[in-house]
Amino acid sequence: MCYSGQTSPLLRQTLGTICLKEGLPEATIEYLQHAISQNPKHSASWKSYGKALLLKRNQDAIKAYETGISVVREKSNIQAVKEMIIFLKRLKK
């Protein structure tokens, strides 16, 4: 079911978060890329995606956080924007 694309962004975000906690960044990235493609304004997916990329690729993590901030800001999820700005500042130090 998951590989056929018949899942919700929330399920893929949840699976990605579980993979992140288990130390599986590549699986995390794959699940979260699908979640974001299904719902580009899902703030939790952007936050987790940035964290996963941070484990593998700093420049990609920076781009993900910058994109996530602009997308989520339009949705008015102020808390998620603040959190991603903090992560982004830490990355750029």
pTM, 2 dp: 0.68
Distance CA 65, CA 88 (A): 6
Q: 25 or 4: which carries more pLDDT confidence?
A: 25
Residues 6+ away with beta carbon under 8 Å from 14 = none
Closest-CA residue to 52 (of 89, 90, 11, 24):
24
> Domains, the chain, ranges and CATH?
9-92 (1.25.40.10)
67 token code pair: 């994109």
pLDDT at 19 over 80: yes
Q: 59 or 17: which carries more pLDDT confidence?
A: 17
Residue appearing with tokens 């997916």? 45
Q: Mind listing the pLDDT tens digit for each residue in 61-93? A: 888 889 989 988 887 788 988 999 998 888 887
